[in-house]
Structure 1
Amino acid sequence: MRKFNVNVNGKSYAVEVEEVGGVATAPAAVAPAPAAVAPAAPAAAAPAPAPAAPAAAGKGDPVNSPMPGLVKKLCFANGATVEKGAEIITLEAMKMDTPVVAPKAGVITYCINEGANVDTGALLCTIA
């Protein structure tokens, strides 16, 4: 048995440790710390893929995306007549559906497709 005093957080403890095995081993040699290596220059970020080409915007008042998200559903066919306040697109963000409503009555021309990811302010459609 070997006795040691151990200090932990300013408090001293007397401990006894039993030696097992008769062969004393030399302490392992401490390898020198590796030389500091300058971090590699960050790789150039890959250019963002070009967004899908939207359909030609129709004449009329633009309806822009109020938030980033996934175009989950186009509620009408292109060229359909919509009423003011009708849900025209469903956007999904963070597992929540958000309706986009027509700001006025008219004929709708979509500029995006279902499944497209859009950013805030992206042109979704026009209503003439």
Structure 2
Amino acid sequence: MKYIVTINGKKFEVEVERVSNGNGQTDISAASKKASSEEISKVVTSGIKISAPMPGKILSVNIQEGQKVKKGDVLFILEAMKMENEIMAPEDGMVEKVLVSKGAQVASGDILAIFK
């Protein structure tokens, strides 16, 4: 199931997955890791924010948390109006947090990742 979550006025699309524990019961606690609002606020307010320049769909995520990137590296491919747009690193750094996944719909200005 997909949901839209608003954090600090920004909308994020999240996907929730139901996981069965083998005996026909659903184990929700094993399927998700809860992030506190303090953790989210800390990540969103610090570091270099990489945001979507236009609304569209994320076709690929080329980075992962903890990865070092150089200025100009392609971080994401964003499809908008049937065109593929490369979202590149504005400077050298390390990926602190990736906030979107492949297939996510994003709005203009949505934060995609945070760098240190």
Match of 1:107 in 2: 94
Superposition TM-score, scaled by structure 1 size: 0.56
Superposition TM-score, scaled by structure 2 size: 0.61
Distance 1:121 1:69 in 2: 11
Match of 2:53 in 1: 66
Please state whether the residue corresponding to 2:90 is helix, strand or coil.
coil
4+ runs of 1 displaced by more than 2 Å? 49-59
Distance 1:77 1:64 in 2: 16
Cα distance per residue 1:12-51 (max 9 Å; x no partner): xxxxxxxxxxxxxxxxxxxxxxxxxxxxxxxxxxxxx534
Q: Which runs of 5+ in 2 are unaligned?
A: 6-12, 16-34
Matched to 1:89, the amino acid is F
* CA RMSD across the alignment: 2.1
Q: CA deviation at 1:94?
A: 1.9
Distance 2:4 2:62 in 1: 26
- Of Structure 1 and Structure 2, the greater helix share is in 2
Does residue 116 in structure 1 map to residue 104 in structure 2?
yes
Q: Which runs of 5+ in 1 are unaligned?
A: 1-48
Q: State the number of aligned residues.
A: 80
Q: CA deviation at 1:53?
A: 4.3
Within 5 Å, give how 1:1-128 maps onto structure 2: 50-51=4-5, 52-53=13-14, 56=40, 57=43, 59-108=46-95, 109-128=97-116
Q: CA deviation at 1:60?
A: 1.4
